[in-house]
Structure 1
Amino acid sequence: MTITTNDVQTCANLSRLAIDETTAQAYAQSLDKILAMMDVLDGVDTDDIKPLANIHEACQPLRADVPNPAIDRDAFQAVAPHAQDGLYLVPQVIE
């Protein structure tokens, strides 16, 4: 499969992005290289390989979720744009 400059410009148009011909050509070449690498990876025999849940084959230890008395909440909230009753107030993003 080959990605053409026209393919890149069509995707950019659908995404409402403006890109010039030179940039579209560079993106097409980069995407072709990525797809070529995927073809190489697709050819690797993984039949006898067990899937990993973690690449380190170990669990990452998590720190205890306990309050840190060294953190001065009032000092941090004093410089916040909006804070009330110990909470940071942010604009609503989902209606």
Structure 2
Amino acid sequence: MISILNNPKNNIIAVIIVEIITLSISFSADYSGTGMIAVILKWIPALIGITTLILYFVSRLLIKKYNWIVTIIGIISMFIAAYNLYITDFSQTV
């Protein structure tokens, strides 16, 4: 089980798949009335995903074990960001 979690191919594919899912969630949110900030908000899960991949590659260089923890933290943070963007009512914000 640990060898499956430490496999770089599995971790990279998991981050990319979750990034696509969270991007589709954040792009389907209602950004009415937010203007230009909506363009930035839509790409927050993608920025978290890219940061996760960079941190994963750095952790692969420094630490050989437990790199999957970086992947899990990145996946959870992408889902949290996408969920918060989806449930926020942007029509009531200034």
TM-score by length of 1: 0.35
Higher fraction of strand: 1
Greater RCO (Cα-Cα under 8 Å, separation 6 or more): 2
